[in-house]
Chains A and B, each alone.
Chain A
Amino acid sequence: MSLPAAGLSRARYGREILHAEWTKLRTRASTGWLLLAAAVLTIAVSTAADAAAACPSGGCQADPAKLSLSGVWAGQAVVAVIAVLAISGEYSTGMIRITLTAMPRRLTVLAAKAALIAGLVLAAGAAAVLASVLAGRLILSGHGFTPAHGYPPLSLGHGPVLRAACGSVLYLALIALLSFGVATAVRESAVAIGFVLGLLYLFPVVTSVISNQHWQRHLEQIGPMTAGLDIQATANLRGLPLTPWEGLGVLALWAAGALTIGALAFRFRDA
Chain B
Amino acid sequence: MTTVTPYRSTARDARDGFGQLLHAEWTKFRTVRGWVIGMILAVLITAGLGVFVAKTTLPSCSAQTSGGQHGPVQHGAACGQPFYPLGPGGEQVRDEFYFVRQPLAGNGSITVRVTSLAPQSQSVRAPWSKAGIIIKDGTGQGSAYAAMMATGGHGVRMQWNYTGDTPGLPGAVSAASPRWLRLTRDGDTITGYDSADGAHWAQVGTVALAGLPSTVQAGLFVTSPDYATYSSSLGSGSESGGPTESTAVFDHVSRTGTWPARAWTGDYAGAGGPTAMGVSGPNPPGYHQAAGRFTVTGSGDIAPLIAGPLNDGPAITVRDFLLGTFAGLIAVAVVATMFMTAEYRRGLIRTTLAASPNRGRVLAAKAIVIGSAAFVAGLAAAAGVVLIATDIARRSGTSVFPEPWPTELRIIAGTAALIAVAAIFTLAIATMVRRSATAILIVIVTLVIPDVLSAPPGIPTGVTDWLLRITPAAAFAVQQPAPQYYQVQANYVPSSGYYPLAPWTGFAVLCAWTALALVLAAYLLRRRDA
Q: How far is the CA of A88 from the CA of B441 in the complex (A)?
A: 14
CB distance from A238 to the nearest CB of B (A): 13
B302 at the interface (CB under 8 A from A): no
Q: How far is the CA of A56 from the CA of B338 in the complex (A)?
A: 49
Given contacts A67-B233, A193-B440, contact A208 B495 (CB under 8 A): yes
Residues of A within 8 A of B437 (CB): 81, 84-85, 88-89, 189-190, 193
B374 at the interface (CB under 8 A from A): no
B333 at the interface (CB under 8 A from A): yes
Residues of A within 8 A of B237 (CB): 61
> Which of A2-10, A198-206, A247-255 contacts its partner?
A198-206
Docked complex: A71-89 residues within 8 A CB-CB of B = 73-74, 77-78, 81, 84-85, 88-89
Residue on A nearest B467 in the bound complex, by CB: A48
B459 at the interface (CB under 8 A from A): yes
Residues of B within 8 A of A190 (CB): 334, 337-338, 341, 436-437, 439-440
Docked complex: A22-58 residues within 8 A CB-CB of B = 30, 41, 45, 48-49, 51-56
B125 at the interface (CB under 8 A from A): no
Q: Residue-by-residue, is B455-480 near A (CB-CB < 8 Å gives 1, otherwise 0)? A: 11101111100000000000000000
Residues of A within 8 A of B18 (CB): none
Q: Is the CB of B326 within 8 A of A188?
A: no
CB distance from A175 to the nearest CB of B (A): 14
Residues of B within 8 A of A212 (CB): 56-58
Q: Is the CB of A56 within 8 A of B231?
A: yes
Given contacts A52-B461, A62-B233, contact A197 B57 (CB under 8 A): no
Residue on B nearest A62 in the bound complex, by CB: B233
Q: Is the CB of B49 within 8 A of A206?
A: yes
CB distance from A61 to the nearest CB of B (A): 4
Q: Is the CB of A74 within 8 A of B463?
A: no
Q: Is the CB of A208 within 8 A of B456?
A: yes
Residue on A nearest B341 in the bound complex, by CB: A190
Interface of B is mostly: helix
Given contacts A194-B333, A197-B444, contact A53 B233 (CB under 8 A): yes
Given contacts A189-B437, A190-B436, contact A49 B463 (CB under 8 A): yes
Residues of A within 8 A of B315 (CB): 211
Residues of B within 8 A of A184 (CB): none
B510 at the interface (CB under 8 A from A): no
Contact of B330 among A74, A197, A209 (CB under 8 A): A197
Q: Is the CB of B452 within 8 A of A201?
A: yes
Residue on A nearest B444 in the bound complex, by CB: A197
Highest count of chain A CB atoms <10 Å: which of B45, B53, B337, B437 = B437
Q: How far is the CA of A204 from the CA of B455 in the complex (A)?
A: 8
CB distance from A232 to the nearest CB of B (A): 8
Q: Is the CB of A48 within 8 A of B463?
A: yes
Q: Is the CB of A210 within 8 A of B345?
A: no
Q: Is the CB of A61 within 8 A of B338?
A: no
Residues of A within 8 A of B455 (CB): 204-205, 208-209
Residue on B nearest A73 in the bound complex, by CB: B453
CB distance from A210 to the nearest CB of B (A): 4
Q: Is the CB of B320 within 8 A of A53?
A: no
A264 at the interface (CB under 8 A from B): no
B108 at the interface (CB under 8 A from A): no
Q: Is the CB of B57 within 8 A of A204?
A: no
Q: How far is the CA of A237 from the CA of B445 in the complex (A)?
A: 30
Docked complex: A206-248 residues within 8 A CB-CB of B = 206-212, 215, 229, 233, 235-236
Residue on A nearest B52 in the bound complex, by CB: A206
Q: Is the CB of A66 within 8 A of B330?
A: no
Residue on A nearest B426 in the bound complex, by CB: A190
Residues of B within 8 A of A100 (CB): none
Q: Is the CB of A209 within 8 A of B338?
A: no
Number of residues from A at the complex interface, CB < 8 A: 54
CB distance from A15 to the nearest CB of B (A): 29
Q: Is the CB of A193 within 8 A of B444?
A: yes
Q: Is the CB of B444 within 8 A of A210?
A: no
A60 at the interface (CB under 8 A from B): yes
Residues of B within 8 A of A88 (CB): 437
A101 at the interface (CB under 8 A from B): no
Q: How far is the CA of A30 from the CA of B438 in the complex (A)?
A: 10
CB distance from B392 to the nearest CB of A (A): 13
B44 at the interface (CB under 8 A from A): no
Residues of A within 8 A of B367 (CB): none
Q: How far is the CA of A49 from the CA of B424 in the complex (A)?
A: 31
A92 at the interface (CB under 8 A from B): yes
Residues of B within 8 A of A55 (CB): 231
Q: Residue-by-residue, is B424-458 near A (CB-CB < 8 Å gives 1, otherwise 0)? A: 00000000000111111100110011001101110
Given contacts A52-B460, A201-B448, contact A211 B234 (CB under 8 A): no
Q: Is the CB of A66 within 8 A of B234?
A: yes
Docked complex: B465-512 residues within 8 A CB-CB of A = 495
A191 at the interface (CB under 8 A from B): yes
Highest count of chain B CB atoms <10 Å: which of A89, A188, A204, A212 = A188
Q: How far is the CA of A209 from the CA of B445 in the complex (A)?
A: 22
B149 at the interface (CB under 8 A from A): no
A70 at the interface (CB under 8 A from B): yes
Q: How far is the CA of A199 from the CA of B52 in the complex (A)?
A: 16
Q: Is the CB of A194 within 8 A of B334?
A: yes
Residues of B within 8 A of A61 (CB): 231, 233, 236-238
Contact of B345 among A51, A92, A197, A208 (CB under 8 A): A92
Q: Residue-by-residue, is B126-145 near A (CB-CB < 8 Å gives 1, otherwise 0)? A: 00000000000000000000
Q: Is the CB of A197 within 8 A of B448?
A: yes
Q: How far is the CA of A184 from the CA of B190 in the complex (A)?
A: 71
Q: How far is the CA of A88 from the CA of B341 in the complex (A)?
A: 14
Besides A74-B453, A198-B326, A198-B327, 9 new A-B residue pairs in contact (Cβ under 8 A), listed by A number:
A52-B460, A74-B449, A189-B435, A190-B341, A206-B52, A208-B456, A211-B56, A211-B57, A212-B58
Write the residues of chain B forming the contact surface with A, with a CB cutoff of 8 angstroms. Answer: 34, 45, 49, 52-53, 56-58, 76, 78, 231, 233-238, 309, 315-316, 320, 323, 326-327, 330-331, 333-334, 337-338, 341, 345, 435-441, 444-445, 448-449, 452-453, 455-457, 459-463, 495
Of the A-B pairs whose beta carbons lie under 8 Å apart in the complex, a sample of 19, sorted by A's number, is: A45-B463, A52-B461, A62-B233, A63-B233, A64-B233, A66-B235, A66-B236, A73-B449, A77-B441, A77-B444, A78-B445, A88-B437, A190-B338, A193-B441, A194-B440, A201-B448, A205-B326, A208-B457, A211-B309
5 tightest CB-CB pairs across the interface, nearest first? Answer: A52-B460, A52-B462, A62-B233, A190-B436, A194-B334
